Amino acid sequence: MRRQSFAKTMGKARRIRHLDQGVKPTHIQLMTELNKIRNFSIVAHIDHGKSTLADRLIQETGTVKDRDMQEQMLDSMDIERERGITIKANTVRIDYKADDGENYVLNLIDTPGHVDFAYEVSRSMRAVEGSLLVVDSSQGVEAQTLANVYHAMDADHEIVSILNKIDLPASDCDRVAEQIEDVIGLDATDAIQVSAKTGQGIHETLEAIVKKLPAPKGERNAPLKAMLVDSWYDAYLGVIVLVRIIDGVLKKGERIKMLSNGSVHHVDRIGVFKPQREEIDELGPGEIGFLTASIKQVRDTRVGDTITHEKKGTEDALPGFKPAQPVVFCGLFPVDSAEFEDLRDAIDKLALNDASFSFEMETSAALGFGFRCGFLGLLHLEVIRDRIEREYDIELITTAPSVIYHIHMKDGTMQELHNPADMPDLTFVDHMQEPRIKATILVPDEYLGDVLKLCQDRRGIQEDLTYAGTRAMVVYDLPLNEVVFDFYDRLKSVTKGYASFDYQMMGYRQDFLVKMSILVNDEPVDALSTMVHRDRAEMRGRAMVEKLKDLIPRHMFKIPIQAAIGGKVIARETLSAMRKDVTAKCYGGDATRKKKLLEKQKAGKKKMRQFGKVDIPQEAFISALKMDG
């Protein structure tokens, strides 16, 4: 695959709303009254039809001409389209003439559904006043439906319930409306029945947005107060900043100040997304748009920051958002060590567009130079890895995902452990704490027993079990390190795909944890080091060495594969050597001749084992860590 230029690569990852630079932007003047603006987001579980509903709203209002329409209009990354998921929250401005003859401006934010991107949902909520809660009328309320609607309630939103996919034969609107009332506590008697695929019910949805959702509040004559909702890097314009104006007016050419760091910038452009960029002269209270100000680094624009004028600006900062904290860490190493510099460039460019992705350089005896990266969850990890491999043509080895442990030393200090290979000497360690999560699982009751057993096997503590019709909602306190690798895969497997899962961080708790090392040919492989509970170490060690025995190809010498805690070996397998038939040329004659050849071969193998290098294929690193129950 031909290496792509910087601009072309960044263009591929940019959203669809970034216009080709050859198109001359339209300058329009906006003087929208506050009571004619509606700001709202669409929230739902994964694959319940958020992006399709956004497509129909855009199409119904003529925001995009039919010839330019495509599926997942607001999802621009290739990986979003392929996986059929939303990763980045995207915004679009829609002009709508309602049945009462009035013209309204609707600012829509389409949010992700997956738990890994919950930070995108929560910060998008702060920029709008209402939400459309989309529920699949054939599947009903799922775990992520609950999580996302709670984000909306925390932001004090007016919520309009929408039952989607009514064109499916399995659709049961009455049952799902009852579920919404029982599980969430929202009145769903007048929920709008929609098929985002066929367009049925879209007009009723637009009317409900205008009539049921509140207009924004704001003072046009007050000092400028704008919320920084999102920012991303553009190869031509620098950093593009998405803003929601709370009070005052923002005009092109003005000098603005970021309240968090006091930096001052000159505004080059102001505009809105329709969903292409359209430049305008000013943004007033209640409006959502973008600005560019020749900002070089995304890190200079903190999400949740307050933007005001350099002179006569506001002193009252908005509450802002908590920064996204990585919860899963793993090492990314190039298969070909000569590609390390290419990997560094790729990670630098990805970090420009994803403020929640953190990284630092690390070295490994087995894998060479690479990066220790922090992610919001396993899907986030997969997305970053896929983008590096696809957009930059670099083959990667991914080490075992791990979480942050708190190591309390005997001298009273506390260290954060990101990588099990960096575990300090146990003689100086007083105790260790691991992160715990509160997991909410919604599952049909026939699979409940399997789910309870899976959670118990992962050291879970049951906190709650309730029923909504034939579906059980079980709440468990689980250790995060038991969840990050293959818990979700196992959950889907034991429930035939019918369970839905959501979690939130609960803090740290002390437990009896140890570092388990894997030795191949008496050499520790730090990429396979993991933290395990002492009571489960033998079982995990046995499973891992058995798997490695199948994954590592045979060599000319025998290879011992061991799992060890400190200096104590807890599990061992031996990979037998390939044997060349050195006696093949001996036809009859004295037996001592054959014995001599075999002894010579044996001595050679012993020497080989001493100096031989064992090649571990890259798939072994991930496969060895997937516990099959």
- What residue numbers does the annotated binding site cover? 47-52, 164-167
Dihedral-angle region of residue 412 (phi above 0 means left; psi in -120 to 50 means alpha; beta otherwise): left
Instruction: Quickly tell me which residue has 């260790």 as its tokens.
Output: 432
Q: CA nearest 328: which of 367, 294, 276, 375?
A: 375
Q: DSSP secondary-structure letter at 183?
A: I
- CA distances from residue 410 to 90, 133, 308, 516 in whole angstroms, order as listed: 49, 51, 49, 22
Q: What are phi and psi of 610, to 5 degrees?
A: -70, -40
Residue type, 238: G
Peptide bond between residue 334 and the one before it cis (omega within 30 degrees of 0): no
Annotate 167-188 with b (16+ C-beta within 10 A) or e (fewer). eeeebbeeebbbbbbebbeeeb
The alpha carbon of 48 is separated from its chain's Cα centroid by a whole number of angstroms, namely 18
Instruction: Quickly tell me which residue has 């043509």 as its tokens.
Output: 393
Instruction: Quickly tell me which residue has 């739902």 as its tokens.
Output: 44
Distance CA(382)–CA(326), nearest Å, equals 14
**Binding-site sequence positions for GTP:** 47-52, 164-167
Q: CB 606: neighbour CB atoms within 10 A? A: 11
CA angle 346, 349, 355 (to 5 degrees): 125
Strand partners, 435: 508
Residue type, 570: I
Interhelix angle for 340-353 vs 6-13, to 10°? 40
Q: CA nearest 54: which of 77, 39, 74?
A: 74
Q: Which two tokens stand for residue 246?
A: 């709370």
Q: DSSP secondary-structure letter at 315?
A: -
Q: Which two tokens stand for residue 16?
A: 């669809």
Q: DSSP secondary-structure letter at 10?
A: H
Three-state DSSP at 76 gives coil
How many helices (H) does the chain have, and how many strands (E)? 15, 31
Strand partners, 230: 242
Q: Which two tokens stand for residue 555?
A: 């060599």
